[in-house]
Amino acid sequence: MYILRHLATLLSAAGAVFAQPLTLKDAVAQIETLNPDTATARLNVLERQANAAAAKAAYQPQASLIVQTAYQTSNLQGIGLVFPGFPSRLGPYRTFNARPQVTQTVLDLSLLSRIRAARANAKVAEAEQKVVRDDLAIAVVSLYLQALQADSRIAASNARLRAAETIATQARDREAVGTGSKLDLSRAVEQLENERIAGINAVRDATVLRTMLAQAIGLAQPPATLEKPVFAAPPADPQTRPELLVLEEKANAAKIETEAARRQKYPKVSAFADWGVLGARPDRAIGTSTVAGSLTVALWTGRRIESEVAAARVREEQIRVDRNRLRLRITQQTRESEAELAAAREAFVASQRAAEASKQTLDLAALRYQGGLASSVDVQIAQSAFAVSEDQRIRSEYEVLLAEARAAKAAGNILTAIR
C-alpha cells in the first residue's frame, strides 16, 4: 500500500500544478490568440496591409503648405524682359511666399502595378499566417496525444502496481509459513519496485508534457485533465494546403512586380496647382497661383529598368520551381500518411491481442504460483512481458490518433478534422 500511496501523492501533486481541463479542439483554437508565433504572423499581415494602403495613397492627391522667406536675385533678360539702360540683374531683394500646393498623379501605370503588388504581398502574409497556424496545430496535437499517452501509462502502471503488491504479499506470507523462499520474496519485491519506478516516470512524463503543451499553446498554466480526441475525415483536398496557397500568392505578386518594373518605361502624367501670396513682406504680398501639368518619359536609366525586369522574372521562375517541388512533396506526404495510418491501425489491433494474451499468461502464472505449481520466476517473467505488451498497446493506440492527425494535415484539413 505504500507504493500506491506514494503514486497517489505524486498524481495529486501533479494535478495541483495543472490548471483547467482542456479538450484538443479548444487547445488548437487557443493557438490563434495565445501563441506568440501566431501573434507575430498576424502582425506581419497587418504590416503588409498597411504597406498596401501606403502604396495606394501615392495615387491620391498630395497637399502641402509652404511658407518661405528668402533673398534672391533675378535675371530679367532670362525671362525676356529687356529695357534699354536698365540692368538685366535685379536684386538681391527679399521675398515672402506662403501657399498650399496640391499634386496629383494622373497616370502612372508602374505605380498602379506596385499598388497591386503590395495588395498581393498582403495576401501572401495571410496565407503564411495559415501555414504557421497549421504547423502549430499539428505540434499541439502531437504534444496533447503524448500527454494523454502518459496518462494511460499512469493508469496501467497503477493497475500493475496493485497486481505486483498482491504477488509480493503472497510471497511474504509463503516465506513466513515456510512454503516459500527468500529468493521468491526478493524477486517479487524487485518487480514491485520496478513497477513503482515505472509509475514515477509516467507521472514525470505527464507533468513535463503538460508543461510543454501549455507553452506550445501559450497558456500560463498546464491543463488539469485532457480528453481523448476524435478525428473525422472530411473531404481531402491537398491543393488547399496553405503552403501551396502561399506560393500561389507569391507567384501572383511576382508577376505583378515584373509588370511594375516593365511599366517604368511608360509615360507618367501628373498635375500641379498652388495658390498663395507672394511679395517682399507678408503685408505687401499679393495673391498668385500656378496650374501646371507634366509628362515624364524615361529615356535612359543606365539599364536599371531592364535589370529590375530581369530580376523579377527570375523570381517568377524560382517560385514556379518551388511550387512544382511542393506539389510533389504534398503528394508524397499524402501517400506516406495513408500508409502510416493503415499500418498504425493494424499494429494497434495486434497489440491489443498481445496485451490480452500476456494478461492471461500473468493471471495463470499468478494462480499457479499461489497453488504452488510454479516458481516466482514464471510470475516475474509474466509480469515483465505484460508490462512490455501493455506499454506497446498504449503506444499503438495513440500512434493511430497521431497518424489520423498527420493524414488530416497532409490533406489540408487538420483544423476541421478535430472533433
Between 185 and 400, residue with greater pLDDT: 400
Of 2 and 132, the structure prediction assigns the larger pLDDT to 132
357: in domain: yes
Res 234 pLDDT > 50? yes
Q: What is the residue range of 151's domain?
A: 2-73+90-417
pLDDT for res 11: 43
Cell of residue 160, nine digits = 500493475
238-242: average pLDDT: 77
pLDDT at 321 over 50: yes
Q: Tell me the pLDDT band of 20, cut-offs 50, 70 and 90.
A: low
Domain assignment present for 180:
yes
pTM over 0.85, yes/no: no
Please count the structural domains in the chain: 1
DSSP state of 216: H
Tell me whether residue 80 is in a domain: no
In sequence order, what are the residues at sequence separation of 6 or more whose Cβ sits closer than 8 angstroms to the Cβ of residue 55? Answer: 111, 114, 115, 117, 118
Q: What is the CATH number of the domain that holds 158?
A: 1.20.1600.10
Q: Is 361 part of a structural domain of the chain?
A: yes
Q: Is residue 313 part of a domain?
A: yes
Question: Where is average pLDDT lowest: 312-326, 338-352, 365-379, 397-411?
Answer: 365-379
DSSP state letters, 339-398 = HHHHHHHHHHHHHHHHHHHHHHHHHHHHHHHHTTSS-HHHHHHHHHHHHHHHHHHHHHHH
- Per-residue pLDDT of 50-73, as tens digits, reads 999 999 998 899 999 999 888 888
The Cβ of residue 273 has, within 10 Å, a number of other Cβ atoms equal to: 15
Q: With respect to residue 82, please indicate whether it lies within any of the assigned structural domains.
A: no
Write the pLDDT tens digit of every residue in 164-221.
Answer: 888 888 888 878 877 777 887 888 888 888 889 988 999 999 999 999 999 999 888 8
b or e along 126-161 (b: 16 or more beta carbons within 10 Å of the residue's beta carbon)?
bbbbbbbbbebbbbbbbbbbbbbbbbbbbebbbebb
* Identity at 73, one-letter amino acid code: T
Torsion sign over Cα 269, 275, 280, 286: positive
Give per-residue pLDDT as tens, 23-38.
888 998 898 888 899 8
* Residue 365 near residue 375 (C-beta atoms within 8 A): no
79 located within any domain: no
